[in-house]
Each structure stands twice: as C-alpha cells, then as structure tokens.
Amino acid sequence: MKNEMLGVRFFKENLISISVLSIILGLSGCVTIKNGIAMSEDHSRALSGERTKMGQSYNLNANCTVATIAKIKLVQAPAHGSVDFVKENIFPNYRDGIRDKCNSRKSLGVSEYYTSKSGYFGRDMYKARVSYGEGTIKDVTVNINVIKN
C-alpha cells in the first residue's frame, strides 16, 4: 500500500500532461503514435492576410514553474502564407487536476501564428514538430481554412 502511494505521488509530481500534447491548437484531431512520435492532425481558421494565433505550447511543473520550453520546427511550410513561433507569456490550459491552478497566471511558452498571403482564401496547411526536451515529441499537421476578410 505504501509503495502504491509513493508511486501515485511520484506520478502526480512528475506527470507530463497529455494535455500538453494537444494544446498546440485549439481544435485537436486524433493523436496516434508512430515510431515513438505522437502524430496529430488539427484544423483551424484564419482571416485572409491577418496574423492569427493557431495555438500554444507549454510545459509546467506541478508548482506552476516552467519545466521546459518547447522547441518547434517547421517541417513543411504553408503554400499560401507563413508561420511564426514566438516565445511569450501565455495562459496555460491544463485539465489534469494537478496544474489547473496554473491556468490563471501567465507562464513562458511558445505561441504559434499563421498569416496567409494578402487576398488569398481557401485551404492551406503546414507541418510542425514539437519537442519538449524530455522525450516528448509530437508531429502536427495543421489544416487551415483561410476565409475572406
């Protein structure tokens, strides 16, 4: 019983939340694992020619301090726009019961912004690889519906 309690405590204190894997975008698709890398396909909308926040990445400890900063690499650029990854203070969105308290204060993370070419509307997409430096890696395919402004 004591060993079970220690195991639960260790897990809670060192948990890398699954929600971290799905916060890249507000609308996450199904996550699958291939060769040890989590893969997902996400869908979002952007106004033509306007910088639009696609999502954010963060990794906090149970006491709300920054555990690691995500490294995001653009694997495939969008055909009709550009993507920027910006280190900035953001509000996390944990739902793990352990770090929910962190959601009310900004912490350092990485925001992801997409801007389509001015006047373009239609479909666009890009692929990014997110790494947290502690073994968690996720490849994300981002499908964007660019609408007229």
Asked if the model's pLDDT at residue 29 lies above 70, the reply is no
pTM of the model: 0.75
Q: What is the CATH code of the structural domain delimited by 2-147?
A: 2.60.40
> What pLDDT digit, counting tens, does each position of 56-92 carry?
999 999 999 999 999 999 999 999 999 999 999 999 9
What distances in angstroms separate CA 116 from CA 85, 105, 108, 129, 130, one per listed residue? 15, 31, 26, 20, 22
Residue ranges of the alpha helices (H) in 1-149? 2-14, 18-22
Number of Cβ within a 10 Å radius of residue 6: 10
Instruction: Enumerate the domain spans of the chain.
Output: 2-147
- Across 111-143, b (16+ Cβ under 10 Å) vs e yields bbbbbbeeeebeebbbbbebbbeeebbbbbbbe
| pLDDT of res. 4 | 46
pLDDT at 56: 92
Please say whether the beta carbons of 17 and 100 come within 8 A: no
| Strands 37-47, 31-34: pairing kind | antiparallel
- Whether 120 has a pLDDT exceeding 90, the answer reads yes
